[in-house]
Amino acid sequence: MTIWGKAVLNIEKGSKKISVMAATFTEWVKTELAIIRLRIRIDETQTAIDQLHRQIGRKIMDLKKQDVLPKATELLFRDEEIVTVMTELAHREQEIEELRTELKIVRRDLKTVVRQTEDTLS
């Protein structure tokens, strides 16, 4: 084989390695963007939960100012507005758990893709 033949062969091998590395990098970037989007959704949901907590607190303070705060806590949770907010709060907390589960799945998938790419390079 001539020097030029070896040079062409080495260029082809290098090109394949660069292609695999580029594909790995692309998958990594896609995964990182997905993780960022999930974290943003988690933060937004947490903000909504905090807002619901503030709404419950305002209602309790309003009842206290009006001197109509129930003596028993059971009566407090019969208030329609508080019950509605607490139901919404439960939904938001469930959403956060689902997003965290999805985040774990995305991270696991990234590790799998990286391992496969590393195996391809070897």
Question: What's the rounded Cα separation, in Å, for the pair 29 and 47?
Answer: 27
* Chain mean pLDDT for the chain: 83
State the pLDDT at residue 74.
63
pLDDT of residue 98: 92
3-state secondary structure of 67: coil
Residue 5 lies in a domain: no
Would residue 40 count as lying in a domain?
Answer: yes
Residue pair 81/63 in contact by the 8 Å Cβ criterion: no
> How many domains would you assign to the chain?
1
- pTM over 0.75? The answer is no
Q: What are phi and psi of 69, to 5 degrees?
A: -65, 125
pLDDT in tens, 44-96: 999 999 998 888 888 877 776 787 776 666 676 677 887 888 888 889 889 99
Per-residue pLDDT of 7-28, as tens digits, reads: 888 888 888 888 888 888 888 8
Any domain includes 3? no
Q: Is residue 11 part of a domain?
A: no
Q: Let me know if residue 32 belongs to a domain.
A: yes
Q: What is the residue range of 48's domain?
A: 19-121
